Chain A
Amino acid sequence: MATRVKDVQTNVEDLVTARETRAPSRQPLAVPIDQPVTFPLELPESEARLRTPAVGQRATRPDGRLHGLGQTQYIDDITFPHMLHAKILRSEYAHARIVSIDTSEAEKMPGVIATLTGAEVPENSFGPTYQDQPILAYPIARHRGDGVAAVAATTEQFALDALEKIKVEYEPLPAVYDPLEALEEDSPKVHGDTNIYTSKVIKKGDVEAGLAASEHVFERRFSTQMVEHVPLEPHATIASWDGNGRVSIWSSLGRITLGREDLARTLQMPQSRIRLIGTVVGGNFGGKNEITNEPIVALLSKKSRRPVKAIYSRGDEFVSSTIRHPFIMDYTTGVDSEGRILARKIRLVLDGGAYCSWTGTTIGKGSILAPGPYNIDNVLVEAYAVYTNKTTTGAMRGFGAPQVCFAYESQMDDIADALGIDPLEIRLRNGFSENSLSPTGQSLQSVALKESLTQAADRFRWKEWQA
């Protein structure tokens, strides 16, 4: 029998009347606090923010007040009804073939709603230059930070407990950890036939002739270590796959346009069905420039039909997110008796870790800047990026510039010391000035290197210190 509107109305009215007559009115057990968070709503802009935004004036941030109030919403501060929490199981080996993954026991654990493995990812590869990195490793894991399976459960603790129940059978493969060993022909290969995946050569003049004509030749190897960005906010994502076949993703990713392209590729769906929301980011420094767990969380949301949140642990952050490239830098520099650089020959070996990420940018910038801000007629830079079975290296503040700066400035000090020249003086003698040519032949304008050095030396009273 069809229900008519009138019937419904009558029923509701009956119910209301019944409740009012039968049930005594009850005070709630606890009175909710009417103002859980207190802050001024209409306070004038701080004086500092009203100053003319001009060079030499102190600038403040438009979001500075929110930060101080603790009111800025980062991803972990956002929740949705029925939201699940995802955790990722990482490889047990630095290099291994995954024979099988069994998630059935994990799926029986309390609170577990969905699991995911690499075989279920529609296009299991991504990367800004080469798409050599899997979303979840399958069938080969190439470093300990590679995810091999993921779990979405009603609490983080349930998800962590379930990870322990995932059975992964590995066949360990020989691994290579040293970038110089990785260059050798008989070294274990991370991808394909060679570990060299990017190289760069910069030539200017005749470096051998320049070295031959030099009064003194200095040779030294410099190396730098790997560095993690350690953003205080770990990588964070929430994904919600809706009944319209669209997915909304809140991500701490810095490059959301690029990220959406990668997501469309990995999820094999048009960009128009992906809504990527870049939230306030708690520190990036280059480490949040590419997708990481976004496709995993999106697919877990699709499987569970619920919003899913994934926050990297600090351990995930160190082992799985990108880090700064360690460099091994061989510098050979020829100078005349006055300390003027005649030739500089440089070989850079970049320890790339398991995948390419932003190595292209890093090797380019590192190579161009490797000879330093000095007028040198004869330059040769040869740079190689090599795969190793270690944490992936990628973008980080300066893209290779800090590594080479450490090497060339250290060598400038070596030269100054050996020839008895003041370290400031040797830099002024060789430094770029207006219209200097860079190692790649670019004519440089607005060069204030020597003025900056002189002013800085005056400010910290360099001459007095030397006396």
Chain B
Amino acid sequence: MLVELTVNGESRSANVPPETTLLKMLREHLDLTGAKLGCDVGDCGTCTVIVDGVSVNSCLMLAGRADGCDVTTIEGLATADELHPLQQKFEEHGALQCGFCGPGMLISAKNLLDNNPDPSVFEVRDALAGNLCRCTGYTKIIEAVIEAGEMMGQEQANV
């Protein structure tokens, strides 16, 4: 079946078998391998992408259901000139170790900051509850998200 969607601002389409998940379509048909397959049952969050403003486990969403949707993946965060504040703060804090949870974690964090630029620690924990990390113990991730929010707030103020 033909699935047409907008990924990171670009119109993309692919002919996929009907059982194809959005994750598989992104990774295997559109060569966007940032989102990862960790558990394939929606527990770990490594496959998180934003679909029409909602962060979803793309391993649980059929590609066909994303037809016509606007999708943001980890590949859509940076520009050719600069990192997204989240990417910068995650790097500075050493918030990613093995890095496998990173793409999903950053996307969940981005969706949080898009909707709530000044979250509390509790709100960050809540937003990242669906993203597992086995290396860091989360502390540095939460610090990085809070600081990225502050940085984005300052950028807004400077505009």
Contact = CB atoms under 8 A, between A and B. Distances in A.
A314 B12 contact: no
A230 interface: yes
Interface in A279-306: 280-285
A65 B92 CA distance: 9
Contacts, number: 145
A245 interface: no
A282 to B, nearest CB: 3
Given A36-B32, A282-B36, A69 B98 contact: no
Contact of A233 (B19, B34, B40, B98): B98
Contacts of A282: 36, 98-100
Chain B residues touching A, majority SS: loop
A60 B106 contact: no
A67 B102 contact: yes
Interface string B12-36: 1100010100000001001111111
Contacts of A284: 98
B9 to A, nearest CB: 10
B32 A37 contact: yes
Interface in A81-102: none
A29 B71 CA distance: 23
Interface residues of B, number: 55
A90 B77 CA distance: 41
A68 B82 contact: no
A232 B98 contact: yes
A40 B81 contact: yes
Contact of B37 (A36, A39, A58, A76): A76
Contacts of B101: 232
Contacts of A46: 88, 91-92
A185 interface: no
Contacts of A311: 37
B32 A68 contact: no
Nearest to B41: A314
A40 B94 contact: no
Interface string A220-236: 00000000011111100
Contact of B92 (A60, A285, A314): A60
A33 B6 CA distance: 12
Contacts of B134: 229-232, 283, 285
B132 A232 contact: yes
A43 B82 contact: yes
Contacts of B13: 30
A325 B109 CA distance: 36
B100 A283 contact: yes
Contact of B98 (A43, A48, A231, A313): A231
Contacts of A77: 27, 33
B38 interface: yes
B100 A232 contact: yes
A47 interface: yes
Interface of A: 30, 33, 35-41, 43, 46-48, 58-61, 63-74, 76-77, 157, 229-234, 280-285, 311, 313-314
